[in-house]
């Protein structure tokens, strides 16, 4: 999980960089707020392309709030949970999250950026370019 955590931190930092550079799409401009679905899709594509396995998106509901995060086996990977007041951490990679258990899981699906359209693929390429300036 160390490698997944390291790559996840780098990826989130690259998203932040695209926002600072004003090269992100409008849908990501308030990251992490309202970006969990798109972020999980982008992150899962990256982690998969890095040879770290396959990742699923879980979508859950807690009261009026919905949220999406990645799962990898028993692990939870979440880069947008800091949008919630009760969860200030920017990134979570864990096999035990009481906070996530508070959501009623509505759906789990595989991730595939291929069918998502040119705009998401183009943004993914921008993130990869931002990552190229970081060291592994």
Cβ–Cβ under 8 Å, residues 105 and 67: no
What pLDDT sits at residue 129? 95
Q: Please give the average per-residue pLDDT across 11-36, as a whole number.
A: 93
Q: What is the pTM of this model?
A: 0.89
Number of domains in the chain: 1
Ranges 1-5, 29-33, 113-117: which has the least confidence: 113-117
Looking at per-residue confidence, does 24 or 110 come out higher?
24
What number of CA atoms fall less than 13 Å from residue 99's CA on the CB side? 18
Burial of residue 39 (CB within 10 Å: 0-12, 13-18, 19+) is: buried
DSSP for 76-95 reads EEESSGGGSTT---S-EEES
Task: Please compute the mean of the pLDDT values over residues 3-27 and round it to a whole number.
Answer: 94
Query: What mean pLDDT value characterizes the chain?
Result: 88
| Domain contains 136 | no
Tell me if 16 is assigned to some domain.
Answer: yes
């Amino acid at each position: 999980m160390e490698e997944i955590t390291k790559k996840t931190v780098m990826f989130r930092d690259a998203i932040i960089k695209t926002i600072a550079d004003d090269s992100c799409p409008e849908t990501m401009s308030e990251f992490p707020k309202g970006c969990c679905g798109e972020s999980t899709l982008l992150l899962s594509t990256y982690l998969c392309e890095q040879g770290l396995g396959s990742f699923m998106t879980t979508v859950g509901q807690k009261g009026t709030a919905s949220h999406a995060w990645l799962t990898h086996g028993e692990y939870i990977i979440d880069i947008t949970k800091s949008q919630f007041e009760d969860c200030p951490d920017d990134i979570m990679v864990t096999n035990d999250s009481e906070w996530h258990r508070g959501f009623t899981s509505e759906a789990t699906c595989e991730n595939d950026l291929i069918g998502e359209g040119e705009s998401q693929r183009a943004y993914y390429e921008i993130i990869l370019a931002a990552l190229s300036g970081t060291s592994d």
